Amino acid sequence: MRSRVRNLEGGITVVDCAGKLILDREVPLCHTVLHLFYAGHRRVILNFSEVTRVDCAGLGELVSLFKLAGQIGAKLRLTNLSERVKHLLDLTQLLSVFGNTPNEQSGVASLMKAPNTEMEEVAV
């Protein structure tokens, strides 16, 4: 999976994800998001507009990221899910856990409503 990080106004960070969120030898998405969390970013949007596939390892990665986000007071949103990825998350009943904003603007709006959080230590 490839990712590109963008910083928006209001302390919101967008990770543009592309490719497949699967078990492979590339740098996992979690490394990118963990670095953001360690750097103090607490409002993160994962833009899945160019994600073509997610497997069980990818689902596990997302679950771990959302769990960690909750532990440190960060807010994580998924946006621009393809119908295929949305269907997989719905089948596994994770869509309601992760939530889904239809586009980046609605993801930003939902994070702007979220309270600002202080940086906490992260134990990984």
Q: Model confidence over 38-74: pLDDT tens digits?
A: 999 999 999 999 999 999 889 999 999 999 999 999 9
Q: Residue 89: which of 44, 55, 46 has the closest Cα? A: 55
Q: How far apart are CA 94 and CA 87, in angstroms?
A: 10
What does pTM read for this prediction? 0.87
Say how far apart CA 97 and CA 67 lie, in whole Å: 10
CATH class for the domain made up of 2-113: alpha beta
CA-based radius of gyration for the chain: 13
CA–CA dist 69, 113 (Å, integer): 17
Taking 80 as the threshold, does the pLDDT of residue 86 lie above it? Answer: yes
Q: In this structure, how many other beta carbons lie within 10 angstroms of the beta carbon of residue 92?
A: 13
Contact 77, 101 (CB under 8 A): yes
Locate tokens 């939902």: which residue? Answer: 110
Q: For residue 7, give the nearest of 108, 110, 120 by alpha carbon.
A: 108
Instruction: Give the integer Cα–Cα distance in Å for 58 and 34.
Output: 15
Residue 13 pLDDT > 70, yes or no? Answer: yes
Tell me which range, 23-37, 78-92, 97-111, is most confidently predicted by mean pLDDT.
78-92
